[in-house]
Amino acid sequence: MEIVALLSDPAAWLALLTLIALEVVLGVDNLIFIAILSNKLPVHQQERARRLGLMLALGMRIGLLMLIGWIVTLQQPLFDLGIVGPPVEGTNKASFETAFSGRDLILLAGGLFLLWKATKEIHHSMEPNDPSGDLLDKTPGVAAAATASFGAVIVQIIAIDLVFSVDSILTAVGMTDDIPIMVAAVVITVGIMLFAATPLARFIETNPTLVMLALAFLVMIGLVLIADGFGFHVPKGYIYAAMGFSVGVELLNIVQRNRRRRIAGLG
């Protein structure tokens, strides 16, 4: 009966659509990470890794929704170092706090992991192991793809899925109290991500400069997660606006390069 009541409630549909839009935006970070990791695997394993990673994300988020009471307690402080910064202008809230909750610790660990992984991938991208010397049309770091272990890639995907899942669920809890709406939003969002995962990964693989841009995004996201863990809340809208602008500029560069290549070929 509760499901029927929700289906006939316009407010429930509005909450569902809002949550789906929000989850899709928040899922971009996760999708980029999965795309970069899966592209390091042999070609025949890449799509399997992407699908498995996203299905694990779905299972993890639904599992966390079943433990929603415990998830909410993650926002309660676990310990306090007793250090605070000056108050934010116009408020009584300190600009820097050291009262850490379970959520803060998860975000800190996830941010540090993203920083480490993205920095490592940038280092490999700067020194591609390509004996032919033809680096223009190859994704940086892909030359070492055969050395990437399927199991190791899945473990890393699971680790970052946990971080993004906790953040996603806590965001959903702040918008609605209805578990069926949250589960429906998560399932639809992961379905969209499953549809977009392979095209995104192929697009990144065929445009090497986008790999460095995506890794730079992961560095920025890692820093934002760390800042959030320390109580510095950076509005997500600013982050995604900067990412969208950067991608737009890079797409223009790609179009320009392709036109120059076609003109050079005709000449």
What pLDDT score was predicted for residue 132?
Answer: 41
% of the chain residues with pLDDT over 90: 0
Do 243 and 217 form a contact (C-beta atoms < 8 A)? yes
Q: What span, in angstroms and rounded, lies between the C-alpha atoms of 34 and 93?
A: 37
CA distance readout (Å), 204 to 25, 51, 116 = 18, 17, 21
Amino acid residing at 129: N
- If you ran DSSP here, which 8-state letter would residue 31 be given? H
User: How confident is the model over 118-138, as pLDDT tens digits?
Assistant: 888 888 777 655 444 443 344
Amino acid residing at 154: I
Residues in a beta bridge with 99? 80
- Specify the 3-state DSSP secondary structure of 80: strand
What pLDDT score was predicted for residue 196?
Answer: 85
Q: What share of the chain is helix, strand, coil (3-state, %, to 5)?
A: 75, 5, 20
Q: What span, in angstroms and rounded, lies between the C-alpha atoms of 228 and 105?
A: 10
Q: What pTM was computed for the model?
A: 0.68
Cα dihedral 215, 221, 226, 228 in deg (nearest 10): 180
What pLDDT score was predicted for residue 128?
Answer: 55
- If you ran DSSP here, which 8-state letter would residue 94 be given? B
Give me the residues of the chain with pLDDT under 70, please: 1-9, 12, 68-69, 71-72, 74, 80-98, 127-148, 171-177, 266-267
CB-facing half-sphere around the CA of 122: CA atoms within 13 A: 14
Do 111 and 222 form a contact (C-beta atoms < 8 A)? yes
Amino acid residing at 99: A
Q: What span, in angstroms and rounded, lies between the C-alpha atoms of 172 and 186?
A: 9
